Structure 1
Amino acid sequence: MSQDRDRNLLFIPASIEDRIQGVLSATVVLVMYGDYQCSQCANLYRLIKVIRRQLSISFGENYLCFIFRHFPEIQIHSHAQRAAQAAQAAAAQGQFWQMHDILFDRQQELGNGYLVEYANDLGLDISQFLRDLSKQVHVARINEEIESGLHSGVKTTPALFINGIRYTGCWNITQLMAAIVAASR
C-alpha cells in the first residue's frame, strides 16, 4: 500500500533547475510531465494557462507556479524527443517558454525543418541551435526528467502533480481549478 501511495508523489521536488513560470515559493506548485506531440498535453497546457491567468487575478501573481518536465513518449510519438531537444536548445538561448508554446501550438509540424523555422522565428542563433541538436547536448537532461517521472509513477502523458501529489481527476477547468484551490488550504 505504501508503495502505491509513493507512486502518487513527486519523486524529485520542484527546484530552480526546472523550467518555471512563477516562483517556487508560490502557494500552489504544478509540475506537468508532457510530450510535445501529445494532443492531451497541449490541451492541458492551454487549460493551465487559462487557470494561471484567472488565479493570478483572484489571488495574485505568486499564487501558482507552473513547471514543465519532458516525458517524450518516443514509442508512439516519433517527433517528441527531437521537439524536447529543440525546447532545451531554445532554453539555452533564454527562449524555452516561447519555443514551448510554439511546439504545442504547431504539434502537427514538428519535423526538423519546422524546428529550425521556429528557432529562426524566435531569433535564435541558428548555428548554435543546430549544433545543440546534432550533438544531442540536451538529451541527458531530458532523460533525467523522464527518469524522475518514472520514479513518480508516470507511465504516460500528461501527468500532473499539485503540490507534489499526483492529480487523477478530470482534465476540465472546473475540476482542475477546484483541485488547485483545495491544495492551497
Structure 2
Amino acid sequence: MPPLLALISIGVTGCPGNSGSSEPKPAPPQEVSVSLPGVDTSSLTPRERREWAAQVSELLSPCPDTPVNIAQCVKEQRACKACLPAAQLLLKQVKDGRSKKEREDAFHMRFDANKVKTLATDGSPEMGPPDAPVTIVEWADFECPFCRLMSPLLEGLVSRFDGQVRLVFKFYPLQAHVHGEPAARAAIAAMNQGKFWEMHHLLFENQDKLEQADIERYAQRLKLDPVKFRADLVSTETKARIEKDKKQAEEVGLEGTPLIYINGREVDLQLLTNPGQDIEDWVKLDLELLGKTPRPAPPKPAGAPDAPASGST
C-alpha cells in the first residue's frame, strides 16, 4: 500500500497542529545525561543524545569478564578495551539515523564474541603474510558488480597496513550470473600457474567481457600454458574447489556476494554507512584490540611503479 494511502487508512490526514484542548501538554522526555571520556556527543541533537545515552546504559560491555554496561565500563576505565570503541560505534550509528534495532545489531556484529567463526582457508588464494594479525576472507562472484567495487578496497588494506593484513579469496559464482562459474574456473586455472591475482584483476576489470574467447585472451595476455589452462578449466579438481567454497559459504549463511569476514566476524555491509572507511576503521580497531599499532605501508620511492599484487597459490 502506498505510504499516503496507509496513513489515510488509519485516520492520519496531516501533521497535528495546535489543539484547542485545555488538557495539559505532556512534559518533554527527560534527557538521560551520560558523559563519557573519549566520546564527543556535541554533534548530536538532544533526541540523539537521549537515544545514545539510553543504549550505552542498557547494553553490557563486549567483554564477558566485565559484566557492567558500556557507560559504566568507560567511566570506570575497566580493563575491557572494547568498551570505548563500542560507545563510539553506537554514537556513529545514532548520528547516521539508524534505528535502535539496527544499532544493536551493529554492536553485536562488531563486538559479540559469539559471532566469531573459525574459517578454514587452506588452499585458497591469498595476498599478504600468512601470519598477519588481521585476516579478511571474501566470497565473491566475478560477475557481481558489488564484488568488483569491493575488490580494490580490500586489496588496498593489504598494502595500507604493511604486513598486518592478509586477504583470502573464496569462490561463490551465483546461479543468476551465467559467466560467474566460467570466470571462477579461469581464475583457478590461472592460480595453478601462479597467476591468480593477475587473472582476478583482469576478470573484474573486464566484467562485461567474460565469454570463452575473452577468457582465453586473458590467459594469453598472462602468458599461461594454453594446454594446461584449458585442461584446468574443465577439470574435476577445479569444480571441486568451487563447490568446497560454496558449501563453506552456505554453512555460514551466505545470502549474497560479496560476503566478508574479518578475523572470523561477518561484516554486514548493510549496517555500514561508508563501507570503504568503515572497513578500514574495523581493521584498525582489530589491530588495536590485539595490542598492535596500525602501521602504514612505507612510502614508495618517487617515480616507482605500483607493484603487482602477489599471493600464494
State the TM bucket, normalised to the shorter chain: 0.7 to 0.9
Give 1:152 shift: 1.2
Cα deviations by residue, 1:52-87 (Å, 9 ceiling, x for unpaired):
22222xxxxx2000000001102x100000100000
SS in 2 for 1:69: strand
User: Displacement of 1:134 after TM fit?
Assistant: 3.5
CA contact (8 A) 1:18 1:69 kept: yes
Which among 57, 79, 83 is matched to residue 179 of structure 2? 79
Name stretches of at least 5 consecutive residues in structure 1 with no aligned partner: 57-61
Root-mean-square deviation over aligned CA pairs: 2.1
1:153 to 253, 260, 268: 253
Instruction: State the identity %.
Output: 26
After superposition, what is the alpha-carbon deviation per residue over 1:114-163, rounded to whole angstroms, capped at 9, x for unaligned?
00000000000111111222345401011000001111111210010000
The letter of the residue matching 2:278 is Q
Please state how far the C-alpha of 1:181 moved relative to its aligned partner. Answer: 1.3
Provide the residue aligned with 1:35 in structure 2.
141
Name the residue aligned to 1:67. 168
User: Given the alignment of the two structures, is residue 121 of structure 1 paired with residue 221 of structure 2, yes or no?
Assistant: yes
Q: How far apart are residue 49 of structure 1 and its match? A: 2.2
Aligned to 2:120: 13
Does the aligned pair in 1 maintain the 2:155–2:167 contact within 8 Å?
A: no
User: In the superposition, relative to structure 1, how do residues 28 and 6 fare at CA in structure 2: closer, same or farther (>3 Å)?
Assistant: closer
Q: Is 2:155 the partner of 1:49?
A: yes
* Unpaired stretches in structure 2, ≥5 consecutive residues: 1-111, 290-313
2:68 is aligned to none
Whether the 8 Å CA contact 2:185–2:234 is kept in 1: the answer is no
1:59 maps to what in 2? none
How many residue pairs get aligned? The number is 175
**1:33–1:70: 8 Å Cα contact kept in structure 2?**
yes
Please identify the structure whose Cα radius of gyration is greater.
2
Q: Distance in 2 between matches of 1:10 and 1:66?
A: 16
1:90–1:154 CA distance, 2 compared to 1 (3 A): same
- Greater RCO (Cα-Cα under 8 Å, separation 6 or more): 1
User: CA separation of 1:87/1:160 partners in 2, compared to 1, >3 Å: closer, same or farther?
Assistant: same
The question of 1:177 aligning with 2:280 is answered: yes
